[in-house]
């Protein structure tokens, strides 16, 4: 592929939650014009397939609990490709500015004179809210949304001051929270959140294989264990979770139907989305 006559540049692009039709038009055009595509493990095959023939495709991993390319290696690879004059697309699941290390990557590239652009995408919490009919904010019920991630050590939450989150009018969207659900519930209840507060866990939010379980926060961890998810899990805590209906109306036959609140579901709902590619670069498909 011929280098860009205007010189190399890097676009940090949000792929959205999975389906290509949930990408922005700008994001689709960026992928379709890429000369080198560095994509994370949660980016769907459907989205990767938008890249043109001859585009270098490099799977960088970046999935919790699994081997992946180190951030420093990703930074250096983007720099090397851009200095070859290529249009590089760094493709991230969801929105690149929400837990996507976009600040680190742009700082690294701009400090070395590489032009960069950020293209936003639909984040998992917004995708889940739309898919399962629950507003993230609602007049008189939820007046703010807080996005967070969680890490545990010895069964306890670390790194974040959680003391202010036990607020009945806050919707808490916890990314990468599958293993932290029990510790999260313990901490929030200890800080004053009612044990009966509605909560929901969504696997593969936005995808055709998305699954939902709902339970009071005190029993959400057990509900997730029954669900036995293999894909990425988003946790939503707050009164809006009681409004969730477990049906994707775009695909009425492929997603289980909700029962009365509280509800949990089993493993039905489709195959898990997986990245089909290994960490090595290859040209075309």
The CATH number that applies at residue 114 is 3.40.1010.10
Listed residues 88, 122, 156: the one ending a domain: 122
Query: Which of the residues are catalytic?
Result: 40, 62, 176
- Domain check: are 23 and 44 in the same one? yes
Q: What is the DSSP letter of 16?
A: B
Query: When comparing pLDDT for 178 and 107, which is higher?
Result: 107
Q: What interhelical angle do 220-227 and 181-190 show, nearest 10?
A: 170
Query: When comparing pLDDT for 202 and 262, which is higher?
Result: 202
In a domain, 159, yes or no: yes
Q: How confident is the model at residue 227 (pLDDT cuts 50, 70, 90)?
A: very high
- Domain check: are 137 and 225 in the same one? yes
Model confidence pLDDT, tens digit, residues 82-101? 999 999 999 999 999 999 99
Cα separation of 85 and 67, whole Å? 30
The CATH number that applies at residue 227 is 3.30.950.10
> Number of structural domains, the chain?
2
Angle CA 171–172–175, to nearest 5: 140
Q: What count of other Cβ atoms lies within 10 Å of the Cβ of residue 266? A: 11
Query: When comparing pLDDT for 167 and 30, which is higher?
Result: 30
- Domain check: are 191 and 106 in the same one? no
Alpha helices in 137-242 (DSSP H): 181-190, 220-227
- Domain check: are 42 and 141 in the same one? no
Smallest Cα–Cα separation from 132: which of 199, 217, 184? 199
Question: What range defines the domain where residue 53 resides?
Answer: 9-122
> What is the predicted pLDDT for the residue at 84?
96
> What is the predicted pLDDT for the residue at 4?
56
Ramachandran area for residue 243 (φ above 0: left; ψ -120 to 50: alpha; else beta): alpha
Backbone angles phi, psi at 128, to 5 degrees: -65, -40
Ramachandran area for residue 163 (φ above 0: left; ψ -120 to 50: alpha; else beta): alpha
In a domain, 259, yes or no: no
Between strands 36-40 and 87-92, the pairing is parallel
Model confidence pLDDT, tens digit, residues 159-181? 666 666 777 789 999 998 888 89
Tell me what the pLDDT averaged over the chain comes to.
Answer: 83
Task: Name which of 103-117, 167-181, 225-239 the model is least confident about.
Answer: 167-181
pTM above 0.85, yes or no: no
């Amino acid at each position: 592929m011929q280098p860009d006559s205007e010189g190399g540049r890097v676009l940090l692009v949000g792929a959205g939650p999975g389906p290509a039709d949930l990408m922005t038009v700008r994001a689709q055009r960026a992928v379709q014009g890429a000369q080198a595509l560095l994509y994370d493990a949660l980016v769907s095959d459907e989205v990767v397939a938008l890249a043109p023939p001859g585009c270098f495709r490099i799977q960088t991993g970046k999935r919790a609990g699994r081997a992946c390319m180190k951030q420093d290696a990703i930074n250096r690879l983007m720099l090397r490709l851009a200095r070859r004059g290529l249009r590089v697309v760094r493709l991230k699941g969801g929105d690149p500015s929400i837990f996507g290390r976009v600040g680190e990557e742009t700082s690294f590239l701009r400090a070395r004179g590489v032009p960069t652009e950020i293209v936003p995408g639909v984040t998992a919490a917004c995708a889940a809210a739309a898919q399962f009919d629950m507003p993230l904010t609602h007049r008189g019920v939820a007046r703010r949304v807080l996005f967070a991630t969680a890490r545990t050590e010895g069964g306890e939450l670390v790194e974040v001051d959680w003391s202010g989150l036990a607020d009945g009018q806050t919707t808490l969207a916890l990314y990468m929270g599958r293993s932290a659900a029990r510790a999260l519930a313990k901490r929030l209840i200890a800080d004053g959140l009612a044990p009966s507060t509605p909560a929901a866990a969504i696997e593969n939010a936005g995808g055709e294989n998305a699954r939902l379980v709902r339970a009071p926060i005190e029993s959400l961890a057990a509900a997730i264990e029954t669900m036995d998810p293999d894909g990425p899990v988003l946790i939503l805590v707050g009164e809006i979770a009681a409004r969730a209906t477990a049906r994707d109306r775009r695909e009425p036959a492929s997603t289980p139907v909700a029962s009365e609140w509280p509800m949990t579901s089993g493993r039905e709902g489709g195959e898990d989305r997986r990245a089909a590619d290994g960490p090595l670069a290859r040209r075309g498909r």
